[in-house]
A = this chain, B = another copy of it.
Amino acid sequence: MIRPVRLMAFAAVVLGFAAGIEQRAASGQTPTSGGPVDPALIEDLVAANRILTQQGVLDESGHVSIRHPANPNRYLMARSLSPALVTAEDIMEFDLDSSPVDQRGRRLALERFIHGEVYRVRQDVSAVIHTHSPSVIPFSVTSVPLRPIILPAAFLWTGVPVFETRNAGVPAADMVIRNRHLGKALTNSLGDKRVALLRGHGDVVVGPDVRTAVRYAIFTETNARLLIITIGLGGGPITYISAEEGAARDSDPGIPDRAWELWKSKALGK
């Protein structure tokens, strides 16, 4: 049973009913809300933050967003907060310029522009994750490509580009994706892929829904870790997942909810 008081507080956050907006976003005008969102979807978004932390993919920073189900020009993401601490009350709504619908003085994630620019271009994407996934870092600072070797990471078969801020054509002295221009450059680098690495920084992972994107983020980390070990083993040519195998897996990804169920149970406690 959810208590009515909490439900109202929650509605105030998501629907933008709150009166006192203490701090305006950078863009001139406050965007309108896409409307109420099914609490079950918000619960999945919160669970995604917790799961990715529990699985070692997110650390003290990084973020997860979903596209607004009723308005494709809005997305939902937590205020600037460690993912491990995110609750439903922390979820905010943004337009594709990454301006908040109802900021109310809350601190915004600096790199939210990653999300807005991806949603603008990739109509097939309804969830975006930005991580500091540790095992992908070595692939981002060397010329060794991150390719899939394990079945549950077969989705990497289409390739994993590396985004280099030095070549972004936009000033980015501190490597942070802190404006729309850098978000757009990163989105260009991502192309039609599911994962792009950010050099010396982490990755961006996209999917058709938040559970799929979480699965992609977790198995990208697992695959990277096992590929590092495999390369270290030095046993001649490595058998990667082939294009045929990857495409077959895409069309029948097994029983993904089984993993989600376990991850959620571990992340949120029994």
The answer to whether A150 and B137 touch (CB under 8 A), given A258-B82, A262-B82, is yes
B110 touches A137 (CB 8 A): no
- Chain B positions within 8 Å of A254 at CB level: 61, 110, 176
Tell me how many residues of A have a C-beta within 8 Å of chain B: 64
Residues B149 and A141 in contact, CB atoms below 8 Å apart: yes
Number of this chain's copies in the assembly equals: 4
Partner of A141 from B81, B228, B238, B258 at Cβ < 8 Å: B238
Can you name 16 extra interface pairs (CB under 8 A) apart from A151-B200, A173-B245, A175-B245? A60-B262, A80-B255, A85-B261, A85-B262, A110-B254, A137-B150, A137-B230, A139-B235, A141-B149, A142-B236, A143-B236, A151-B176, A151-B201, A174-B248, A174-B249, A200-B239
Name A's B-contacting residues (CB within 8 A). 60-61, 80-82, 84-85, 107, 110, 132, 134-135, 137-139, 141-144, 149-152, 154, 164, 173-176, 199-201, 222, 225-226, 228-241, 244-245, 247-249, 252, 254-255, 258-259, 261-263, 265-266
